[in-house]
Structure 1
Amino acid sequence: MDEPDEPDDFDDILVPTDGSKSARRGAEQAIKFARRNGATLHVLYAMDMGDADYVAVPSDIKETRNRLKKKGEAYVAEVAELAAAADVQCVTTVTSNTPIEAIGEYVAEHDIDLVVMGKRGRSDPDKPLLGSITNRVVGSLDVPVFTA
């Protein structure tokens, strides 16, 4: 029987962010794990357009995408700065997709060993323990998910 992965087996760690306080706590923990393990930190923001493609006029969709992209770039840059201060190698990505699909695809495409998330984000700040996105990610991935 194989032994479970030890923390030093994590080479690539993903931390999704939505700019919330909970996501920042997740990022801070992910940075600690990455520094301890000499791992690369991957920071992901998913631009979830929801139903905007179906109800808005094309110029509004383009404006919304640009606004979300700028917001996402600011969120991942904030985490990248924290990682740089801790001397942790960091890769940032802003993508268009729902957060759950974006996280699952990123994990598969980049051979992620560990996902670190805040317990709840901007879309569900009043949830008592795990937010809906965190809860669904925990149940959908084959890699460990640490919640902070």
Structure 2
Amino acid sequence: MAPAHVLVPLDGSPLADEALVHALNTFDCRVTVLNVVAPLDSGMSEGGVLEPGDERQTEARSRAEEIVERAKRRAEEVGRNVETSVETGDPAETIVEYVEAHGVDQVVMGGHGGSRNELARRLLGTVATAVVSEAPVTVTVVR
């Protein structure tokens, strides 16, 4: 059964951009692009290395808004519309929570490339691996 609502988490990486293209080319349904801003005190953000501060959080939020707006423009170029969202939290947890709260029935996301072997977590990426294992819906990982 074809999905009615596809979520494409974007992090600004080339593979995330490929995931958006894949979703737009594959699914003729509602598409939402999501960027998750990791809190500056989390290990997934620069705050794990640098001192957190309001200026850094504002810069991270601005970058997130740029990422989803760029995705919106890219979709418009191919005659599609996408909804956009920027959330704050742990990326994997926030993606799964978004799926559950917004009636998403398919996730399309980028993973980290490389040859397949026992290091699947490293190859797919920690966020993609967590979403694949925790999401209650089908997850397509674009590599």
Specify the TM-score bucket, using the shorter chain as the normaliser.
0.7 to 0.9
2:18 to 6, 21, 25: 25
- 2 CA distance for matches of 1:130 and 1:72? 22
Q: Which runs of 5 or more structure 1 residues have no equivalent in the other structure?
A: 1-5, 122-126
- 2 CA distance for matches of 1:128 and 1:105? 23
Residue-by-residue CA offset, 1:13-40 (whole Å, 9 max, x unaligned): 0000110011111111111123xx2x11
Deviation at 1:79, TM superposition (A): 1.1
Q: Does 2:68 match 1:91?
A: no
What TM-score do the two structures reach when normalised by structure 1? 0.79
What TM-score do the two structures reach when normalised by structure 2? 0.82
Equivalent AA in structure 1 for residue 63 of structure 2: K
Equivalent residues of 1:117, 1:146 under 8 A apart:
yes
Q: Does 2:132 match 1:142?
A: no
- Indicate the structure (1 or 2) with the bigger Cα radius of gyration: 1
Equivalent AA in structure 2 for residue 26 of structure 1: A
Residue-by-residue CA offset, 1:72-97 (whole Å, 9 max, x unaligned): 01111111111112222211111111
Aligned partner of residue 111 in structure 1, secondary structure: coil
- 1 CA distance for matches of 2:56 and 2:93? 20
Give the alignment's Cα RMSD to 1 decimal. 2.1
Structure 2 counterpart of 1:46: 36
Equivalent residues of 1:23, 1:120 under 8 A apart:
no
- 1 CA distance for matches of 2:30 and 2:129? 24
- 2 CA distance for matches of 1:147 and 1:73? 23
Equivalent residues of 2:37, 2:60 under 8 A apart:
yes
Deviation at 1:50, TM superposition (A): 4.2
Give percent identity, aligned residues only. 29
Aligned partner of residue 133 in structure 1, secondary structure: helix
Residue-by-residue CA offset, 1:20-79 (whole Å, 9 max, x unaligned): 011111111111123xx2x111000011024249x84xxx52111110011001111111
1:132 to 78, 101, 126: 126
Alignment coverage as a number of residue pairs: 129
CA shift in 2, pair 1:130/1:67, >3 Å: same
Aligned partner of residue 124 in structure 2, secondary structure: coil
- 2 CA distance for matches of 1:33 and 1:111? 19
